[in-house]
Structure 1
Amino acid sequence: MDTVEDQAIKRPFGFWMATALVVGGMIGSGIFMMPVGLAPLGWIAMIAWIVSIAGAVSLAFTMSRLAQAIPAATGAIAITGATLGELTGVLIGWSYWVSVWSANAGIAIAAASYLGAFFPFIRATPLNGALTAVALIWLLTLLNLGGAKAAGRFQVVTTLLKIAPLIVVIVLAIAAVTGGHAAFQPLPSGVALGGLATGVTLTLFPLVGFEAAGVAAERVRDPARNVMRATMAGTTGTGLLYLLVSGAFLIVPMATLAGSSAPFELFVSTYWTAEAALAISAFAAIATIGALNGWVLIQGEVPLGMARAGLLPGWFGQVSSRDVPVRVLFLSSSLASVLVLFNSSASLGQVFVFMALLATCSSLWLYAAIAIGAIKRRIAVPTAIIGLAFAVVAFWGAGEKAFAWSFALMATALPLYLLRPRVALAEQPAE
């Protein structure tokens, strides 16, 4: 039986740390670049946000109810395997793992881009930006090697800091509108269904991460209670904050916003001062680095949970004395680094868009599986149906190319399915 000290190492996340993991994973590079992508949609973007938030909250509730119904499962991926079968569990888990390390590549690129405002050499060449992104990936990998508790504390601090720019934009918008210095863009005459579907897919990327506490349930104390509380509080709170921020950007002319490479900096410099805008860039860098930290943690937890559930070979389940999956962390960060360097000839913005799209589409397989599993078990059926419909719409909005890439990468897990153990792994000895 584990001692109290062992439990503290293996399950260091209480409610607040688990919530910080959810919020910190969601608030990252996506929201700080999203106003540019949504600018052509105008008010339709607000409808897209409402649809995406409703879908994310429905999926979050469904996932949490499944976790309560299957308390022995080591996270959301293991739950998928338990409800839909081992093959489905392996394919879905592998796809989600691909989404995590590819997202880390994109987040690291975005962080390097924000840091370039203070260190111009980063933006001097695409290779400089790529090397900076790789360095950030490995710095946060080293932090996570110290154990989940150290990573969790870092996540709490950066989460508190990264909310500041969002609050600033909301307050500035309120002041500008009430003071007569700005007005909202006119309402559209109608809503184009195709544009709405694209908007739903775009707004999903900043919401990816609501499942973080469920995926890392093995690190959460009293998971049956705290996973639900942290997931719902983090998802609902962040979703409402995003909705207010998106509404604030409706006072900026669409053409001006669409041509910006740093929308938050543009907003603050327009409605406040250039000095304050530079400070916002610093907070944006903190936000992306904090998000990267949380996702580096998750990229290790996904294969570890799958291995302990018997869905992957035992190699993925080896841990250090601090219960850290060192092998998987190194593998994941290596793949993210290769992805960054492979695209180092392109601009930072182009690389970010590609990786964000790949990560979002790959994560949709997990969301759809969670909803289908809940419907099969007759758990939270109404929210599961809403979540499944949301996933289908998001797949449609992503387009054929992203769908095909995510499917092809998911299929690479088939050899691992054949090598999996026939029973769930016992606790692995420390390396």
Structure 2
Amino acid sequence: ARLARMIPRAGGPYTYSRQGFGDFIGFLIAWGYWISLMCGNAAIAVAMVSYAGVFWPALSNSSGVAAAVAGGAVWLLTIVNVMGVKMAGRVQVVTTVLKLIPLILVATVGYAFFHPGNFVPLNVSGESNFAAITATATLTLWAFLGLESATIPAGDVIDPERTIPKATVLGTIFTAVLYILATAAVMGIIAPADLVASTAPFADAAQRMLGPWAAYFVAAGAAVSCFGALNGWILNQGQIPLAAARDGLFPKPFAKVGRSGAPNTALIISSIFVTILLATNFTRGLVGLFTFIILLATLTSLIPFVFAAAAQLIIFIREKKRFEGQRLTGASIVAVLAFLYSLWAVGGSGQETVYWGFLLLLAGIPVYVWIVWRRAKSEE
């Protein structure tokens, strides 16, 4: 929120990191965050298919059908976003209202069916409490990814210096309270052994609460929730490469916009990669696929968080005159804590996730070299 007030430009973590560290780190953060968005969209599409499987069992039994439906949702919402930010915003408002109803139902009525014994023992991993918390920190953070999303389309927001910080803080507080209440209720309703095997935990919890009709109601709400989240993230997956391309740090085609002002090329190329990721990983099964992709998405989003937190401190130090008379102690402490937490969460991602995440991040370096070469050649 503080960075959004300081740098009210489109690009979010990419823009802040570039301001603090320069072009190369800015490119790597844009590249890594773009990967995070594409991985996240694949994971959300998988979650949507899991809940839709309550109505259409073939989605849970056939990886081919599931991949086709997930890919279809990605491309439908890509078309919506190509039509412009206003159209994407209308879809977002409708899906947000619809998804709140089942979430609030579980977060309130669910406690009448709550069994505290489901939390005992609290740690079933066989590891120490610290090791167990570290291992699950990255998975937990997945639920809160997107808190930075309001900063990304800053160029299309009215009065971004005030609107974005307010949306970020209030949205995070409301979401955190609702998510904690709802997920705790689900964990109290369903026994741990059953919860681990569930592909639609909210629907299963609703069925145990109020019967089969509630399972269908909540599953529909969860599928709509995933559809709405996918819409918002597809918006962002076009905005990040657009901002970087305008700064000369991504290939020029990503800077092209259509008549609606949407970054059509960036949206289409991004969705192609999301589709490939879905098609090549559905053999893991829905639960295994979802877990792997959200770990990869969270890891690749944590790297921008690390650099954005450090960038805030660098900007404070480098631009002292700009902040004369302002108290920066609190903001600096928050930045340090965010930096340390992000590093800790990276450590909890697991060896396979860290391997693939950093491999994908480093794969961007040849692209940056090519961009610098093209830029130098054009200036000759």
User: TM-score, structure 1 length as denominator?
Assistant: 0.78
Q: Does 2:345 match 1:407?
A: no
Does residue 1:357 correspond to 2:295, yes or no?
yes
Contact 2:10 2:152 in 1 (8 A): no
Aligned-residue sequence identity (percent) comes to 36
2:225 & 2:10 partners in 1: Cα distance?
Answer: 31
What is the aligned counterpart of 2:153 among 211, 216, 232?
A: 216
Mapping for residues 6-405 of structure 1, pairs under 5 Å: 64-72=1-9, 74-176=11-113, 182-183=115-116, 185=118, 192-252=129-189, 253-378=191-316, 380-405=331-356
Call closer, same or farther: CA 1:175–1:73 in 2, change over 3 Å: closer
Q: Aligned residue for 1:417? A: 368
Aligned-pair CA distance for 1:318: 0.9
CA contact (8 A) 1:93 1:306 kept: yes
Determine if contact 1:126/1:344 at 8 Å carries over to the other structure: yes
Aligned AA for 1:127? G
Q: CA deviation at 1:188?
A: 5.5
Report the Cα distance in structure 2 between the residues aligned to 1:121 and 1:233, rounded to whole angstroms. 39
Q: Which runs of 5+ in 2 are unaligned?
A: 317-327
Q: CA RMSD in A?
A: 2.0
TM-score (norm 2): 0.88
For the structure 1 residues 262 and 367, does the alpha-carbon distance in structure 2 shift closer, same or farther, using more than 3 Å as the test? same
Q: State the Cα distance separating 1:174 from its structure 2 match.
A: 3.0
Give the letter aligned to residue 79 of structure 2. Answer: L
Residues 274-309 of structure 1: per-residue CA shift (max 9 Å, x gap): 111111111111011111111111110010011123
C-alpha deviation, 1:129, in angstroms: 0.7
- Name the CA distance, whole Å, in 1 between partners of 2:195 and 2:168: 32
- Give me the whole-angstrom Cα distance separating, in 2, the residues matched to 1:305 and 1:74: 5
Distance between the aligned counterparts of 2:238 and 2:90, measured in 1?
A: 17
How far 1:322 moved relative to its partner? 1.2
Deviations 1:377-420 (A, max 9, x none): 23621110111111011011112221121111111222332315
| In structure 2, distance between residues paired with 1:102 and 1:189 | 30
Structure 2: distance between partners of 1:80 and 1:315: 23
Distance 1:413 1:170 in 2: 42
Q: 1:256 to 1:268 in 2, by over 3 A?
A: same
> Using a 3 Å threshold, how does the CA distance of structure 1 residues 194 and 313 change in structure 2: closer, same or farther?
same
8 Å Cα contact 1:73-1:309 kept in structure 2 = no
AA paired with 1:367?
A: F
Please say which of residues 239-248 and 355-364 is displaced more in the overlay.
Answer: 239-248
Deviations 1:197-253 (A, max 9, x none): 122111101111111111221221111111100011111110111121233234233
State the distance in 2 between where 1:262 and 1:127 align.
Answer: 19
Between Structure 1 and Structure 2, how many residues are aligned? 356
Distance of 1:300 and 1:67 partners within structure 2? 19
Q: Is the 8 A contact 2:139 2:294 kept in 1?
A: no
| Aligned residue type for 1:352 | F
Cα offset, 1:186, TM superposition: 5.4
Is the alpha carbon distance of 1:398 and 1:241 closer, same or farther for their aligned partners in structure 2, counting shifts above 3 Å? Answer: same
Structure 2 SS opposite 1:207: coil
Q: Distance in 1 between matches of 2:9 and 2:142?
A: 30
